[in-house]
Structure 1
């Protein structure tokens, strides 16, 4: 399945689940949609925080197309599930935002760790959350982002456990993908970055970590959702964690040689 075929499948209502493993080889993107009056502040937030917010493309105000990342995209329908924020709080989850679309909305597409996950699998590394048919575990941390305008707050990370040498290999592989969060921000000792209990993620599903495994933490594209809570915008739209925009960009096109 290509990125375009995946979007068509989602747009038709044929798929509404997490996009992990969908359209293998194509970049998936986190989604943030804010009113135009806040777009410049959010753009600067991405520039100041490139690890959690690697910018792939920005739309024009009111335009649901996003030609920088894919042909024929309709951002109102081409994501399996969306989260709507109202007054800085999560309001509802929907599968189509056409009815609430506005002419002042600006779309941001941000790189996603699913891109380097494909590379990890290609190198023979086991992703436990995929093996268990779960969404990746994501946590708020004590690490602070660099603020811009109303946007700021904690860094959110995703966690994948690996044994010994596999953890080292995962670091080496993911480093080649700076537009998909790049190298991890932390390994081991979750308490050192403010995570009290790995069994209770803030987003996604819990994934068990065995005694011989090392939890590896990457910056996560859900970080902007924490920033939206802090900003308290009257209205904004994001992807539901794990339910991404599948683009036409190939993973190898964003990899460093």
Structure 2
């Protein structure tokens, strides 16, 4: 995946609509962490209507990795509750297209794949709570370094529904013990975007053999005295789609998110 076009200044990407238009025009084809401060970002899973009800039930049974924040009508590429001037087929920087559980394409637009029976699910993203963490003085290394957050498939099985089954995917952020405690407190206020961490330290206990080798994203630079802190991740549907060998699906490419018109502050539970 390419990085952002260097001609894009931060001012060009200050709102959710700015980011969507940059992706739609092809000027933005990398990850979206740190863009449109204050706006909710989301993961994407698009499935045929035949599988959509089972996937909705899968999300209901697995609210930590799959908290749904918006759903389209079959065949409709708009999700009005998430934003005006919104085309789910073009407004992400990068997509993944799946056939029988295998990724067959990673395009910048899925217009040519669109069908009248497709239903889009937008799932809450940890980028929302990252803003709250940074406001508390907890650094987000991947944003500072300009890379994608590391993500891992784990040995934690999701609760199955219909054909959907597979491992929980987690994202990881290195933190000092003090910051890890504070992060639990802060992110617990955001249940619709994964909430509190599901594991801290000892990655082998959740099936991660080498924390320096993520399954998705970029490796973190773990410093002495830091702990790996793991959150349930909205990339989980991609692992589930692969495990279930779903005949057809579309997802976001990891790190290249739906950027909405919703505000992060509205998702916090006080």
Normalised by the length of structure 2, the TM-score is: 0.94
1:58 equivalent in alignment to 2:71: yes
Deviates more, 1:46-55 or 1:127-136: 127-136
Q: Distance in 2 between matches of 1:140 and 1:100?
A: 27
Please point out which of 138, 144, 150 is paired with 2:151: 138
Q: Deviations over 1:142-180 (max 9, x none)?
A: 101000001011000000000121111111111111111
Deviates more, 1:124-133 or 1:23-32: 124-133
The number of equivalent residue pairs is 257
Q: Specify the alignment match of 2:127 in structure 1.
A: 114
Please point out which of 171, 175, 191 is paired with 2:184: 171
Please point out which of 89, 97, 100 is paired with 2:102: 89
Q: Distance in 2 between matches of 1:182 and 1:171?
A: 8
Normalised by the length of structure 1, the TM-score is: 0.98
Q: Distance in 2 between matches of 1:101 and 1:169?
A: 43
Q: Deviations over 1:13-38 (max 9, x none)?
A: 11111000110000000000000000
Q: Distance in 1 between matches of 2:221 and 2:153?
A: 18
Name segments (4+ residues, structure 1) moved above 4 Å: none
Q: How does 1:148-227 map to 2 (within 5 A)?
A: 148-227=161-240
Q: Distance in 2 between matches of 1:212 and 1:71?
A: 45
Secondary structure of the corresponding residue to residue 106 of structure 2: strand
Secondary structure of the corresponding residue to residue 63 of structure 1: coil
Shift of 1:68: 2.1
Shift of 1:130: 1.5
Q: Distance in 2 between matches of 1:76 and 1:16?
A: 14
Secondary structure of the corresponding residue to residue 134 of structure 1: coil
1:232 equivalent in alignment to 2:232: no
> Is the Cα–Cα contact under 8 Å of residues 56 and 68 in structure 1 kept in the other structure?
no
1:4 equivalent in alignment to 2:4: no
Q: Specify the alignment match of 1:100 in structure 2.
A: 113
Q: Specify the alignment match of 1:256 in structure 2.
A: 269
Deviates more, 1:205-214 or 1:43-52: 205-214
Q: Deviations over 1:120-161 (max 9, x none)?
A: 111111111122221000000010100000101100000000
**What 5-or-longer segments of structure 1 have no aligned partner?**
none
Q: Distance in 1 between matches of 2:19 and 2:108?
A: 15
Q: Specify the alignment match of 2:160 in structure 1.
A: 147
Shift of 1:208: 2.1
Shift of 1:95: 0.1
1:28 equivalent in alignment to 2:41: yes
**What 5-or-longer segments of structure 2 have no aligned partner?**
1-13
